Amino acid sequence: MSKIQFPLFLAVAGLCLLHLAALPAGAQEAEPCLMCHGEASNFTGSQDSARLVVTSESYEGSVHGEAGMPCTTCHAGLAFPHPEDPPVTECGACHSNIAEQYEASLHGYARARGNTAAPSCTDCHGMHDVRHSTDPLSRSSHANTARLCAECHSHDFTGDTNGGLAPPRTFEGFATSVHGLNEVLGAANCTDCHGIHDMRGAQDARSRINRHNVSTTCGNCHTELVDEYMASIHGRAFEAGYGDSPTCTDCHGEHHILAHDDPDARTSDSQMALDLCAECHDDPEIIEKYGMQEGVVGSYADSYHGWATRLEHGHVATCASCHTAHSVLPRSDPASTVSQQNVVATCQQCHPAADETFASSYDHVSASVDKNPVNRIIRTIYIWLIIVVIGGMLIHNVIIMGWYLRQARRRHVSEPSFVRLTRSYVLQHVVLVLSFVVLVITGFALRYTDAWWVRGLASIGLQEEIRAVIHRVAGVILILGSFWHIVWIALFRHGQRFIRDMAPGPRDVTELASNVGFHLEVTKKQARFARFGYAEKAEYWALVWGTALMAITGIVLWFPAEIVSWAPAWIVSASQNVHFYEAWLATLAIIVWHFFFVIFHPDAYPLSFTFMDGRMSEEDAKHHHPRWYEAEKEAEQRGETTV
């Protein structure tokens, strides 16, 4: 060392000694470690470089640095140079009580059984930057706890769960709840309800979220409400061991707890009576088990209050309006809001002029049709009145409609007419109509099993086994009828002429515009249709397309295992959707389009009889299909026919 370098070395060494002397004892011991571990460049390319880098700022800002703890407190016996496989640091060496709580928790249980996704001490508290929970920068501070838990308990979690036991995805629900939205104001967060290190499953009797402990947990913040609940019939029943009685989370939910004035909340006016309270008070098993009053939900639903609730009226009485939300007591209890002593005051909340007579005019018994004899008699009288009066009207109108149908049929038979559809086509149409109607009924009966007409069919014997057979038989008949139609078109003169007349062309577009313009009174010239106009052509080709689609998807659904042995797996679910929506499209097209032209059109009403014999009167042909009428007349003079 040169004469110049030696004094410089002494100066630097002296400064280092002075710096170390100014540090606390623990920091002085940590400084040599930080000389290496404080430089990230020293660990470039290391497998776990983030764990090995410890800056002086992170160490000094941690609870360990503030306490003056040297590195060797946690990394005892870690001499330099370090061994390739250093001993694992055990936080429990100092935090034994917390370690015991952790080991008995869900996290510790999962970790001990090899679930590497379960959090350890450093996952929640950090490694060398551990801060006190009161520090706003701490990962476990009140403001940061929810986001810390969200690292595992959210939809974004992608960690290895060792066997598919994924953690519950609760963060998104919590984040939009009253707790999550008010977390910055000190509302409850994850650890307030679940505990910190002693988190246990809901089935554990020692857990804070066990059903028997939930009210106590909620009572840490909602003391007054929990006191009301514990004095209520629900709270007393639950404490007495009646497990069916609701506790806080049964009504409010667990993580996605919303304010009662939020329309999406289970406790909102729109959902309370008909959904929330009905879960117990409309459950036949619970009613029978505890001898509760029957029909309370139905009597409410069938009242002004219930009707207005379904319309989401903002100022209408619901369950809590009369019974309160938490202090629910039986009517026999003098403290109950619906007791004889208090019911008038309860009614006066909405009806200021209410007295005892008014209060007795409405309750679940008086409002019930089954329980109230007066209402029961009224219902019986009116049911019979409806049957006799409306039934008589229906019979009367059917008689009159029958007369008009017979008159229309006589005119149809007696008037000069042309053959519009051959007998073969008429028979094909009959097969199509019958198979289509059966397919629609038996198909929708599977999709809408709760519909009243489906329950009616089931009551007379149309069970699933029979329905499935009938549906498949009708499908086969429809397919065979389609092949019959194809053969008729290919081999027979009438069929070949039919398909030529049914072929679409540019003229159909102009006739569509002309027809719509005429009926809008924009033009005075009416469209001159040939044998088939755009309406019949559109319906026919839609029928061809729809029948082919329904046949193909129906076969896939009938033989799914055989089909997917050579086709992609998605074809089954895709076929199911196509089959369902195409059925709706076809059914609505028949009702809206076809029925209009053959029944409801003013010129066809009450019914076009062409489907019965294939003939159309000359007058109708001249009016609706003038080009075809003229062609028929010319052919008639030549002794021929155009069909």
- Per-residue pLDDT reduced to its tens digit, 20-42: 444 444 555 667 788 888 888 88
- Per-residue pLDDT reduced to its tens digit, 185-231: 789 999 999 999 999 999 999 999 999 999 999 999 999 999 999 99
Q: What is the DSSP string of 267-305?
A: TSHHHIIIIIIHHHHT-HHHHHHHTPPTTHHHHHHTSHH
The pLDDT value recorded for residue 30 is: 67
| Count of Cβ atoms closer than 10 Å to residue 396 Cβ | 10
Q: Smallest Cα–Cα separation from 92: which of 81, 80, 101, 79?
A: 101
Lowest-pLDDT range, 1-10, 173-182, 548-557? 1-10
pLDDT classification of 310: cutoffs 50, 70, 90: confident
Query: Cα(581)–Cα(575) distance, rounded to whole angstroms?
Result: 10
Query: Cα(409)–Cα(607) distance, rounded to whole angstroms?
Result: 9
Mean pLDDT within 507-525: 94
User: Where do we find the tokens 């014999």?
Assistant: 613
User: Where do we find the tokens 């066997």?
Assistant: 163
- The domain made up of 418-637 has a fold known as Fumarate Reductase Cytochrome B subunit (1.20.950)
Taking CA atoms, 35 is separated from 12, 38, 126, in Å, by 15, 6, 21
Instruction: Please give the structure tokens belonging to residue 268.
Output: 């909102």
The answer to whether 222 and 229 are in contact (CB under 8 A) is no
pLDDT classification of 87: cutoffs 50, 70, 90: confident
The answer to whether 496 and 474 are in contact (CB under 8 A) is no
Altogether, the residues listed in the chain come to a count of: 643
Those residues with Cβ within 8 angstroms of residue 595's Cβ, 6 or more apart along the chain or in another chain: none
User: Where do we find the tokens 């776990």?
Assistant: 48
What mean pLDDT, rounded, does the chain reach?
Answer: 89
Domain boundaries, the chain: 21-80, 418-637
| Count of Cβ atoms closer than 10 Å to residue 452 Cβ | 8
User: Where do we find the tokens 């006016």?
Assistant: 269
The answer to whether 120 and 159 are in contact (CB under 8 A) is no
Lowest-pLDDT range, 45-49, 360-364, 451-455? 45-49
pLDDT value at 18 more than 60: no
pLDDT classification of 313: cutoffs 50, 70, 90: low
Q: Smallest Cα–Cα separation from 546: which of 464, 440, 452, 630?
A: 440
Please provide the distance, in angstroms rounded to a whole number, between the alpha carbons at the two ends of the chain.
121
Those residues with Cβ within 8 angstroms of residue 409's Cβ, 6 or more apart along the chain or in another chain: 609
The pLDDT value recorded for residue 160 is: 72
pLDDT classification of 284: cutoffs 50, 70, 90: very high
Q: What is the DSSP string of 419-484?
A: E-S-HHHHHHHHHHHHHHHHHHHHHHHHH-TTSHHHHHHHHTT--HHHHHHHHHHHHHHHHHHHHH
- Per-residue pLDDT reduced to its tens digit, 425-437: 999 999 999 999 9
Instruction: Please give the structure tokens belonging to residue 405.
Output: 């149908």
pLDDT value at 46 more than 80: no
pLDDT classification of 124: cutoffs 50, 70, 90: very high
Taking CA atoms, 412 is separated from 5, 401, 427, 627, in Å, by 126, 16, 19, 21
Query: Cα(193)–Cα(209) distance, rounded to whole angstroms?
Result: 7
- Per-residue pLDDT reduced to its tens digit, 54-65: 888 888 888 998
SS3 (DSSP) at 617: strand
Lowest-pLDDT range, 45-49, 133-137, 447-451, 470-474? 45-49
User: Environment class of residue 67 by beta-carbon count within 10 Å: exposed (0-12), middle (13-18) or buried (19+)?
Assistant: exposed
User: Where do we find the tokens 């004892």?
Assistant: 25
Query: Cα(437)–Cα(583) distance, rounded to whole angstroms?
Result: 11
Q: What is the DSSP string of 191-213?
A: HHHH-SS----TTSTT-TTSTTT
Query: Cα(50)–Cα(319) distance, rounded to whole angstroms?
Result: 57
Lowest-pLDDT range, 150-164, 276-290, 549-563, 575-589? 150-164
Q: What is the DSSP string of 516-535?
A: HHHHTTS-SPPP---SS-HH
The pLDDT value recorded for residue 12 is: 41
